């Protein structure tokens, strides 16, 4: 899986996470992040590369939004919150070194 100019990195699998269509959003966004992160952690534990993909929003911003929601079997009152791309990366990434200057240790 690599970008090659493709929005979704040619990923063979894409998970769409639905979220309630409320406004303003509150705890739903925390739940959304937890779900996305759990998908990533589970995938990584299985050796599957993954990428949170907020740009999926473009698919639901146009005239095909309702068609996509129907095909993905979103319940009424739900919209796409985020997607996670799954596959095998072309390149090996290295974990980032945490910037400890941004962490406050107390005690």
Q: Considering beta carbons, is residue 4 or 76 the nearer one to ligand FMN?
A: 4
Q: Which two tokens stand for residue 61?
A: 């911003």
Cis status, amide bond into 24, omega within 30 of 0 = yes
CB 85 within 8 A of CB 50: yes
User: Closest distance between ligand FMN and the C-beta of residue 105, in Å?
Assistant: 23
CB 90 within 8 A of CB 1: yes
- CA dist list (Å): 90 to 10, 44, 67, 87: 11, 15, 32, 10
Q: Considering beta carbons, is residue 1 or 69 the nearer one to ligand FMN?
A: 1
Which run of H or E residues covers position 79?
Answer: strand 78-87
**Does 51 sit near ligand FMN (CB under 6 A)?**
yes
Q: Which stretch binds ligand FMN (CB under 6 A): 18-26, 52-60, 64-72, 97-105?
A: 52-60
**Does 2 sit near ligand FMN (CB under 6 A)?**
no
> Which residues from 68-107 bind ligand FMN, rule CB under 6 A?
82, 93, 96
**Does 53 sit near ligand FMN (CB under 6 A)?**
yes
Q: Which residues bind ligand FMN (CB under 6 A)?
A: 51-55, 82, 93, 96
């Amino acid at each position: 899986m690599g970008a090659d100019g493709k929005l979704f990195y040619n990923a063979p699998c894409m998970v769409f996470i639905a979220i309630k269509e409320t406004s303003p959003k509150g705890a739903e966004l925390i739940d959304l992040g937890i779900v996305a992160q759990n998908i990533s952690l589970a995938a990584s534990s299985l050796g599957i590369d993954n990428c949170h993909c907020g740009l999926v929003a473009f698919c639901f911003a146009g005239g095909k939004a309702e068609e996509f929601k129907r095909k993905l079997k979103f319940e009424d009152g739900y919209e796409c919150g985020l997607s996670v791309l799954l596959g095998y990366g072309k390149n090996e990434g290295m974990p980032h070194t945490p910037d400890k200057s941004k962490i406050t240790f107390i005690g």
